[in-house]
A and B are shown apart, each in its own frame.
Chain A
């Protein structure tokens, strides 16, 4: 029997069933840092393979500048466009439907591929620790993706409470490692002077630094995911800028500590190829306690990241359905748990399929590519936002300083990163751009006729200047 009312009190007769506003700044921090922190445990170190240990440090700071610009721009726009879908909702209101459709796909691809990478990393880490012949990573991948999908299905509050705890443990493990190796004393445990010399600091020169940008992204990839929680935080105008900026500061500190410890313990030739730089650093200290702590922290970081990615990808997909950019079937909200349950379930087998057939490098590259496409959009988006609605015309929860400098810096660094990706993965970059072009043609000529054009613009803003 089909009924139109809910008996548990979550959705009352006549009311809409919407996402639940239960999150605070700590959850926003847990979502952003949770997605990103896995990049300190693996990924960033491949930049050392591209350009040496010093290149890994240079991109740590320069890409940190890119992401600081992302965080500032995102905080301003999202504190005004507080809707699930994050950058998708921003693009829809500020640029237009075709850009919004593409941005939503960037988001879904970036987060789903990152989730896949996290699950593969977790499986590989357990298999490496076990050292048992015949043990494969498939069961651990399946459990990671399914258990986290179930958690997300059951409610956003518990999902992000769990993320807060495990992200905090993983973060504290980096701090413990840092202080355990006497960072103030070179020579005792750390040997930076011996491992990084003028002769090997930049083995491929400055082109190596450019090439290192591709993996430098891993230090911070995903911090912009905080905006996906916009419709579920109690006070978006306050919580989103606060949680995002706090997350960025946290990550800059973690990135610096991670580079310093790893660069002082491993030669660049090894650092650039190991899949587990922090776990290896724990082993190299000679302390079984630190080794096991960093092993567990690697797993927790991968879990936190996959958890946040499921949350974000589902909200982006849900938003597309709600505006009929995709069938509205995807916009269903669970009447009891108040989550976009159909979107979560739809993306679950896709993530599983990619995790079983793709390798880690391919999944990571597709995630990074979609992420950088999204950052390029953000630099254009903020310029249009300030031009159409200058300061003083609409209420902003946060106004980022030095405009348009962050947008220009962001755009320039995105161009450099595209060049770096082209150097390493030119065919994947071309394939992805071709895919987005074809899907845009499909959207423009076929799908857009199903969209209720007046209903999709929901922000009660005045007319933009010039219109």
Chain B
């Protein structure tokens, strides 16, 4: 693993404007990710995970702060240069796959190679190679509608890998998959990481996050945790859900989305906060 940062963010802020209303999605986020690292970004809905991934993937530019991808300041790149950077250095895997519905699996995988200017024959060969890698070579001529969710996501992974990018950014890659398909995808990411590709997973799934050696938690647009483990409070909630899913889920449904796990637990424990599941009273009515 190299220590050179491939992703360097310093005090990055992203504010969305709708008329005169400004909504900050990221607030002064600083991240340093070395080439070859595998990291998970966790956080509740609306915390800014996807915004962070969009910025990391050069799909968007920060409102303020510095973002350097592999030593190049993204804010100073033209749209053409950004496109080229995305094409050559970044592979995206989206929760909803974003495959071209009227293109076959192979044509979908060929797409980034085409935009990279590769000739037809090597392009076809590389696409088949990538499909083989994800175990889908026999389904190369199927349309996405003829594939299962797991297979579609594997096509998306093959497409992300096609240009042999330095970074794979995956936004909830197992969100729409059953557990078996999800495990297959995670295994694939681990293999890539072992081969030296930088992998960033954005997920709600703590189990998936634990696969990564580095876990960052984002909340209200700020990085609130950056370490090797899942934050303690999240583990607690997870355990609480395991022990009494009805009790916690009802609270999660009503409050958690906006306020985050800690607040949920405070409400469950009567405002005292928790460090464990002991004493956690089920919420009734």
Chain A bound to chain B: no
Residue numbers of A with Cβ under 8 A of B are none
Query: Which residues does B use to contact A, with CB under 8 Å?
Result: none
